[in-house]
Chains A and B, each alone.
Chain A
Amino acid sequence: KQEVTQIPAALSVPEGENLVLNCSFTDSAIYNLQWFRQDPGKGLTSLLLIQSSQREQTSGRLNASLDKSSGRSTLYIAASQPGDSATYLCAVRDDSWGKLQFGAGTQVVVTP
């Protein structure tokens, strides 16, 4: 059974510092890995999707890497802003039906 772990569970950084969020998974036979952002009272917003054949994806200040063989993904957020405060979730798709296995998330606070 796939296990997805996110460390740390919570993170607080001053504005301007780079954020590094980690996600690990136990079964490397995945289709893809997706990073989501969750704001209180709102649904999940997809940030980046990395296919199993890819090593990284970038969107603006966000960069996500994938090392499938070691079962790890890292989300980098450059020059953090208070608006980046949210919970970040990673999820892996490891079957043909499209079901996702989620980590518990990292709660991020960026202080002005």
Chain B
Amino acid sequence: DADVTQTPRNRITKTGKRIMLECSQTKGHDRMYWYRQDPGLGLRLIYYSFDVKDINKGEISDGYSVSRQAQAKFSLSLESAIPNQTALYFCATSDPSLGYNEQFFGPGTRLTVL
């Protein structure tokens, strides 16, 4: 089984709809991250969490919210989706035993907002 899983893998929705993307990990890592990837722009950080009580905004948090339900689960919500949120979304984790030097990524969720 994959260490970092994301659901759904693909989603098509309409403008104005509320969408939740979920991330689960079995690695036991305390830090989790949400990124989005747009063609030609690389990955940009949306939110990150160092534990269930710690949530931080990243570079592009406007229009997004997150919830850290447990150490293993980190969800990303789009309260009212808009077409420019069409992108590939990645969840990642990192580990204190490695000095948080490496991040481990899920397979991504491709979101299309019509």
Inter-chain CA distance A23–B5, complex, in Å, is 29
B40 touching A99 by the CB < 8 A rule? no
Instruction: Say yes or no: B45 contacts A100, CB within 8 Å.
Output: yes
Nearest-CB residue, chain A, relative to B90: A43
Which residues 3-61 of A have a CB within 8 angstroms of B? 4, 9, 31-32, 34, 36, 41-46, 49, 51
**Residue in A4, A36, A97, A103 with the greatest tally of chain B CB atoms within 10 Å:** A97
Within the complex, the shortest CB–CB distance from A8 to chain B, in Å, comes to: 13
Contact A31 B103 (CB under 8 A): no
Q: Which residue of B lies closest to A45 (CB)?
A: B105
| A100 vs B45: C-alpha distance when bound (angstroms) | 8
Q: Which of B40, B43, B50 has the most CB of A within 10 A?
A: B43
Q: A46-B102, A100-B103 are in contact. Are A9 and B40 (CB under 8 A)?
A: yes
Interface size on B, residues (CB 8 A): 26
A99 touches B48 (CB 8 A): yes
Q: Determine the main DSSP class of B at the interface with A.
A: strand
Q: Which residues of B contact A99 (CB under 8 A)?
A: 33, 45, 48, 58
- CB pair B44–A102 under 8 Å, yes or no, is yes
Which A residues, 53 to 71, have Cβ-Cβ distances below 8 Å to chain B?
none
A89 within 8 A of B: yes
Q: Is A112 part of the contact surface with B, judged by Cβ < 8 Å?
A: no
Contact B90 A44 (CB under 8 A): yes
Cβ-defined contact, A98 with B107, below 8 A:
no
Residues from chain A with a CB closer than 8 A to the CB of B107 are: 41-43
CA A46 to CA B98, docked complex, whole Å: 14
Interface residue ranges, B against A (CB under 8 Å) = 4, 31, 33, 35, 40-45, 48, 50, 56, 58, 90, 92, 94, 100-108
Q: A32-B101, A97-B100, A100-B103 are in contact. List 6 more A-B contacts (CB 8 A).
A: A4-B42, A41-B107, A91-B43, A98-B101, A99-B58, A105-B42
Could you show 19 A-B contacts with beta carbons less than 8 Å apart?
A: A4-B42, A9-B40, A31-B101, A32-B101, A42-B108, A43-B4, A43-B106, A43-B108, A45-B105, A89-B42, A89-B43, A97-B48, A97-B50, A97-B56, A97-B100, A98-B100, A100-B45, A102-B43, A105-B42
